[in-house]
Structure 1
Amino acid sequence: MNMDNPVHKEFAEYVIRRGPALLRMARGLTADPTEAEDLLQTALAQTYLAWDRIQDRAALDGYVRRAMVNIRISWWRRRGPEVHPTADPPDLPVEDCTRRSELRDCLHRALCRLPDRQRTTLVLRYYADLSDAQIAEHLGISVGTVKSTVSRAVTRLRGDADLGQDFPIPRPRGYPTRPPDH
């Protein structure tokens, strides 16, 4: 990459500045750290090719997020659904958690056990803080499908034995809070 070119320099500065946050987003969309890196790299390559057409530089993160979601959907369609025809999911390899808290690791594993669409809607809702309408637009589904997918994902996380009772799973927007037990 010729750094004398201002476009190359501007893009490189953007990647250096926003790369870590975008990689965290990619990790939330995938169950595999290597796949997350591939996803981000592919999205950044698409962004670079469209760099001259992106007028609003403040919207770059949204452009890359949208590219990651679109690429992820494309990968799902090529691969087909992941079906686990057993009541007990297989044991997943445990990462070295020396730099992460036990709770974060536990949540990550629980999210990885969710189907792709459920995991993606939760990441877009709680990490990217998108509305139901924005999520529906990103995924190309209806708002009702977003709501039901988030509801099923949160219910599934609440039932995950690894998370235990002490982990507060947020209620989806628009859902009533439970009255206190007396």
Structure 2
Amino acid sequence: MKNSQVSNKNNQNSYMPSNLSTRSTMTSGSQGLYSREGILQRKQKPSTSVKDKNFTLQKIHEYRRIAFFGSPDEKKVIQQLSYCLQIIRQEYQQDCDFLLGIKKQKQQEFERRDQRMTTCRNHYFDQAQRMREIQKREQMRLIAQDNLMMAANKKRQNIDTHVKDNIRDQQAIHDNKVKYSAMIR
């Protein structure tokens, strides 16, 4: 209402003569503060149509609605803000899912690498144990061979000593025969 009153006063002032003064006296003509036209103009209410009243009421209702609900621009900003927040929430969710996926992938990669390393180490340990067993068997075979060779050498030595003993005995027998035959003669 105040806005319409202010606009009405502005309209009234525009109709009033510009050179009004308080010092003017009743002079001839329509000029002056106390002239008939001036008084009538001041008393005359500005003509306002229903259209103007409805327009001012619409403005008042619009101001009240804006004060209570917010302006269309504010609504747009709020809608855009909620849309932006949804987008940010979705991006955050996607980033979280992406980071969780990376973490899960790294964990799986670590488990795979650990499993691969474990199987590789187990393979190396098994291979080393097999090599130890093979070396042990080879050593046992070599020891057995050495034992056989030593046994064979011992037999040979025994045979050699027996042969030498036999040769000595036979030589002694032969020498005794020669001595005995020489004695008999």
Alignment TM-score, normalising by the size of structure 1: 0.17
Higher RCO structure, 1 or 2 (CA under 8 Å, sep 6+): 1
Which has more radius of gyration? 2
